[in-house]
Structure 1
Amino acid sequence: MYDDSSARIAAGLREWIAAASPGARLPSTRVLVAQYGASPVTVQKALRTLAAQGMVETRPGVGTFARTVRVARPNDYGWQTAALGSPQQRMPQLSTALRSVPNDVIALHSGYPDRELLPERLVRTAFARSARGEAAVSRPPSAGLPELQAWFAAELGAAAPVGVAPPAPSDVVVFPGTQSGLSTVFRALVGAGRPLLVESPTYWGAILAAAQTGVRLVPVPSGPHGPDPAELARAFELTGARAFYAQPHFANPTGAQWTPGLADRVLDLVRRHGAFLVEDDWAHDFGLVSDPVPLAARDDGGHVVYLRSLTKSVSPAVRIGGVVARGPARTRILADAQAEAMYVSGILQAVAVDVVTQPAWRTHLRSVRQQLTARRDLLAGALAEHAPTARLDTVPQGGLNLWLRLPDATDLPRLVRDCEDAGVVVAAGTEWFPAEPTGPHLRLNYAGPNPGAFPEGARVIGEALARQLPSRPASA
């Protein structure tokens, strides 16, 4: 009676192959049928299994042979060292904010809002509509879909005071996210080797874009309420810089928001020095008390180049940003954008404009404002209770983050490791400094998943800090 299990035959042949010389011919099917008391069909099934595993090869009309076993060896790419040479710029590592983590950890590190804070229904509906329209099969204009250009211009123009000409739709260039826009603006308006003034600390993506384009960063100290105008003026005079990158509203990472008086002084400075202010309005949709008023709305002389992102507020899958610039600056920016990417996906632009022009978009933003306020207060309160040695210099009125100042003696890398070992992922503040950090910080995101775990996350941070405090001598 034939045994119909091919697994037993395959196992026996593996032992035979292990003892045989590479390239040895296996016994014929007739011999194997007799040896294992199996049918020819079962023997062939076992041989097919071994062939799929790369252990044997069959040569029609000749027989089946054991494959030559290749010994694994490490890949050698040493030749590329000479071919590539030394890098012209040392690129910073990608931020912790982009790191993916398992669902069972408390994630306070991310740079993006949790999915429940996104207009998911609006996005899905917009994708379905856009897939049926012209955007799915046609090439959009290089500067962007006219209706999306018009929306960016109208949003900024609505905040323009009386007497200031609002931007025109043709002043807008659409990008696949403002990170791409930053690289283009730095390259087109500053240039490799030239100085760019930046707040310190500042957005890590701006530091990355500067490294990519070869721009030389000049840090200007910036605190809970923005940069010191005197320090900014001194930096302009010492460096001859012609551009200043800043986040006047809900700065990433500090959460700082400029007062109207500071905004006026900065605008006066850039005008007096014949310079550009590159205004990154990254968190425009995340004002907790009110919508911010961009500085660009108060300038029609072409000094302010304005960036606004929809990626975080609409969806990470819809990487869309707008850059508003006037005059020759806009011409240079568009020329660089065309050389870099030719145009932005029409279907993504169509989805973005569909979402933000729906009546439900404003309703969604009001709901997000309430949720973010509750999350911010929950995390700030938990830190005050469980990590009293850390300090929040400002409770932000918008954005997604808290900027936590730690005691001077904190061993920051050890603290980050200890927190992660306890299931809490945090972002070290060093990533947001364009030069040496002025002290140990953590940037904590209050828009991440599972806000109910924020108190536990704060407790872990507090305990990790407490383990680093110098022990107090026992009382007599």
Structure 2
Amino acid sequence: MDNSSSRIVDAIRQWIDTAAPGARLPSTRQLVAEHAASPVTVQKALRTLAAAGLVESRPGVGTFVRATRSARPQDHGWQTAALGAPRSSLPRVAGALRTAPDDAQALHSGYPEPGLLPERLVRAALVRAARGTAATARPPATGLHELRAWFAAEVAAATPAHLSGPGAHDVVVVPGSQSGLTSVFRALVAPGQPLLMESPTYWGAILAAHQAGARPVPVASDSEGPDPDQLDRALRETGARALYVQPSYANPTGVQWSPDRAATVLDVVRGHGAFLVEDDWAHDFAIDTDPLPVATQDDSGHVVYLRSLTKSMSPTIRVGAVLARGPVLERLVADRSAESLYVSGLLQHAALEVLSDPGWRSHLRRLRGQLRERRDLLAAGLREHAPSLHVDLVPAGGLHLWARLPDGTDPEQVVRDCESGGVWVTAGHEWFPTEPSGPYLRLNFSGPDPGGFPSAARTVEEALRRQG
């Protein structure tokens, strides 16, 4: 834009600042005379102003100051009648899935930070998989045989000699545990029927239960697992035929079942002819103990076992497995085929490449120490700087601390106040199948910047004192 045109644009901008929306600009002839410029220069200036959204031209009428127009709200009311009543009331997206700003102290997520993942192994595995036939070939509906065999061998290795361990034929590969949970619940529980769940428990399992049309029924748990007497009574009174549990480093509480409790719970489930759905989500996040799946104690098909690689390998590797026996496995395969036909062969091959690399076991050994250091650092920071919080259990594995807030606290307000201070946390009510038993926070110790844990603890304490 030349100097003459720029001078005219600046002058008209100043005029527009004092004019009302919709006001008519002087004619081209008037502008030519006022600015001693050619008609071409004036038209060029007007086009510049129009491109900036400041004026609009109406052919045969003139040029006017553009009036701000609000977009007409779209009316989707017709969909209310077309859709009808929802099949089930789904919980809202959990706070753990929110994306925090880069400069925030993120204690809310359910995933480890990238620095705790085998990044080099995953990248190399994806490249190798993409160069092979996996890039274009369709995998079997139940998953790659080698990958299914790996999942089965992980359970079989810990199965007592007098029991029959699982094989590859007992496994179906799924695109992550969340998808697997929905299929399992659909296979085991008819719409509207009860599904027993530890309380509190994984919010994603509660979501999957609603999605499957099941009716979650809470079962109280203590520091060793579900109370067997309450479980027996719940199975008897509700007629439920499935129980969802996380025996190793439960999310969110961190509880690991004792061997005696696991055996007793399995006996109760067997006695009622029911299923125990075991979500072994934290198998790779052991710290002070080793996980022992309840599935290793079952060879009669009462345990349906899930395990995923997504959290421990990479959020990109949406690969997990369900281990089941008997007709329930056939139902699962049918449900998965209807849902997605098969899991990406590229991701399955990449997962198998990582699992077959000696570096995978080295990574898990290193990860154990890293998680211990971070867990202890956050626990110490809370004890010193957030005395209003009560952490009854420092878990022997997993990724989280489960912290009780003082009675009468509004957890959602705590979340908002913490975010104002640059700390992201998650309110605990999302982990209860029905009403929460009290106010809680779930805090992830595997997120970025563990050096900021003490400062984050102080922010949480300040948020609590505002309510005091």
**What code does the residue aligned with 2:146 have?**
E
Contact 2:5 2:41 in 1 (8 A): no
State how far apart, in whole Å, the 2-side matches of 1:53 and 1:39 are. Answer: 21
Q: Which amino acid aligns with 2:248?
A: H
Task: Decide which moves more: 315-324 or 48-57.
Answer: 48-57
SS in 2 for 1:131: helix
Task: Report the identity percentage.
Answer: 56
Are the structure 2 counterparts of residues 42 and 287 from structure 1 closer, same or farther at C-alpha, using a change threshold of 3 Å?
farther
Q: Which residue of 2 aligns with 1:169?
A: 168
Q: 1:6 to 1:354 in 2, by over 3 A?
A: farther
Cross-structure match for 2:237: 238
Q: Which moved more, 1:84-93 or 1:268-277?
A: 84-93
2:69 pairs, out of 59, 67, 71, with 71
Contact 2:241–2:273, Cα closer than 8 Å, also in 1? yes
Question: Are the counterparts in 2 of residues 10 and 50 from structure 1 also a CA contact under 8 Å?
Answer: no
- Residue 336 of structure 1, CA deviation: 0.6
The equivalences for 1:100-179 within 5 A come to 100-179=99-178
Report how far residue 8 of structure 1 moved: 4.8
Tell me, yes or no, if the aligned pair for 1:3 and 1:38 is still in contact at 8 Å: no
* SS class of match (2:378): helix
**Higher alpha-carbon deviation: 77-86 or 36-45:** 36-45
- Residue ranges of structure 1 left out of the alignment (5+ in a row): 470-476
How far 1:218 sits from its partner (Å)? 1.0
Tell me the residue number matched to 2:197: 198
Q: Structure 1 83/130 Cα, relative in aligned 2: closer, same or farther at 3 Å?
A: same
- CA gap 1:316/1:27 in 2 versus in 1, 3 angstroms: same
Kindly report which structure 2 residues correspond to 1:455-470, keeping only aligned pairs within 5 A, or say none: 455-469=454-468
Q: CA deviation at 1:380?
A: 0.7
Tell whether the 8 Å contact from 2:28 to 2:43 is kept in structure 1 after alignment: no
Q: What is the deviation of 1:341?
A: 1.0
Following the alignment from structure 1 to structure 2, what is the Cα–Cα distance between the partners of residues 66 and 149?
A: 70
Matching of residues 351-370 of structure 1 within 5 Å: 351-370=350-369
Counterpart amino acid of residue 423 in structure 2: V
Residue 211 of structure 2 corresponds to 212
* Mapped contact 1:395–1:402 kept (Cα < 8 A): yes
Secondary structure of the 2:163 match is coil
Displacement, 1:392? 1.6
Which residue is 1:222 aligned to? 221
Contact 1:405-1:440 at 8 Å conserved across structures? yes
Structure 1 residues 21-420: aligned runs within 5 Å: 37=37, 47=47, 50=50, 71-72=69-70, 73-420=72-419
Deviation at 1:122, TM superposition (A): 0.8
1:63 Cα deviation from its structure 2 partner: 13
Q: C-alpha displacement at 1:192, in angstroms?
A: 0.8
What is the CA–CA distance in structure 2 between the aligned matches of 1:219 and 1:180, rounded to whole Å? 22
Q: Secondary structure at the match of 1:205?
A: helix
Alpha-carbon RMSD across the aligned residues, in angstroms, is 3.1
Q: Distance in 2 between matches of 1:287 and 1:234?
A: 32
Q: Residues of 2 paired with 1:155 and 1:54: CA distance?
A: 67
Output one character per residue of 1:51-85: Cα deviation in whole Å (capped at 9) or x when no partner: 686966899xx999989979322222222222223
Q: How many residue pairs align between the two structures?
A: 465
SS of equivalent residue, structure 1 residue 391: coil
For 2:119 and 2:93, how far apart are their aligned partners in 1? 27
Distance change (3 Å), C-alpha of 1:174 and 1:44:
farther
* Cα 1:22/1:170, change in 2 over 3 Å: farther
Q: In the TM superposition, what is the alpha-carbon distance from 1:236 to its structure 2 partner?
A: 0.7
